[in-house]
Amino acid sequence: MSDKPLILIPALNEQATIQEVVASVIAQGFDVVVIDDGSGDQTANLARQAGATILTLRINLGVGGALRCGFRYAVTNGYKSVVQCDADGQHPTSHIQRLVDVSNETSSHLVIGSRFRSQDLEMTVMWHRRFAMWILSLFASRACKTKITDSTSGFRLISEPLLGQFAKYLPSHYLGDTFEANVVAGRAGYKVKEIAAPISDRKAGVSSTGSWRSIILIARSILVVFFHLHFRIADYSEEELSLQPVKKG
């Protein structure tokens, strides 16, 4: 059992940046697992050389599928929390400790690093995408009962018992692992907190989802959340300090 969080880095063809990202996390004393999501390049080998543990998915499952694999690894190996971090070097790994501190101070199960709360936003976000993200944030804020400005952030800390639930039920479709997961956690009574975390433009490679396609998928996700069609996890009750069984349907 480890009190330190495990750092999970889902990666798809990120050979240009993965070594640098893994090295900077290891330098801070954290264990790192890179989930190679069917890469066709040297991502896995380079990450292994940098000192990461590698989980190799033979087929591409998407970020959600890769993350769930990492969550399962964390639960099996006794980690109480994980920090999800992108492989493209967008997230400053120096902020991982800040996520951990906030989680400890507030007993939050999910701490989201928001790029929109940060004063020094170095990333370019198109207006239509920003508008869609604003709508997602409204839904997420309502579900989590706290202001969420970045519900699609890929820089998050997730701790038990939420970690165990996500290890069992996290879906693999686009936004299922971020926006929908945040809403599901909030609706099931888990404590969610958001803090500022600066983010920069990708150092190399391209995003896995195109701009307009992502707008369509965002619309789909809003419908899923509006009609409560998302995945279910066990409810968390602070009074009873226990998990309630997963409701069907």
Partner 1 sequence: MSQETVQRIELAVGCVLFGFLVIRFSQKRRISFRYTVGWLVLCGLGIFASLLIPVFTPVAEFLRLSPTVFLIAIASIGSALLFLQLTVSISGTQRRVDSLAQENALLREKLERIESPIKK
Task: Determine contact, residues 129/211, Cβ cutoff 8 Å.
Answer: yes
**At its nearest, how many Å lie between partner 1 and the CB of residue 46?**
16
State how beta strands 110-114 and 156-159 pair. Answer: antiparallel
* Choice between 16 and 167, CB closer to partner 1: 167
- Give the shortest CB-56-to-partner 1 separation in angstroms: 5
In DSSP terms, which residues pair with 157 in a beta bridge?
83, 111
Question: How, if at all, do strands 242-243 and 6-11 pair?
Answer: unpaired
Residue 26, judged by CB atoms within 10 A of its CB (0-12, 13-18, 19+), counts as: middle
List residues binding partner 1 (CB under 8 A): 35, 53-59, 61, 65, 68-69, 72-73, 76, 172
Indicate the residue among 38 and 189 with the shorter CB distance to partner 1: 38
| Nearest-approach distance from CB 22 to partner 1, in angstroms | 16
Q: Do the beta carbons of residue 221 and residue 135 sit within 8 Å?
A: no
CB nearer to partner 1: give 66 or 192: 66
CB of 55 to partner 1, least distance (A): 4
Q: Does an H or E element contain 83, and which?
A: strand 81-84
Cβ proximity to partner 1: between 98 and 168 the closer is 168
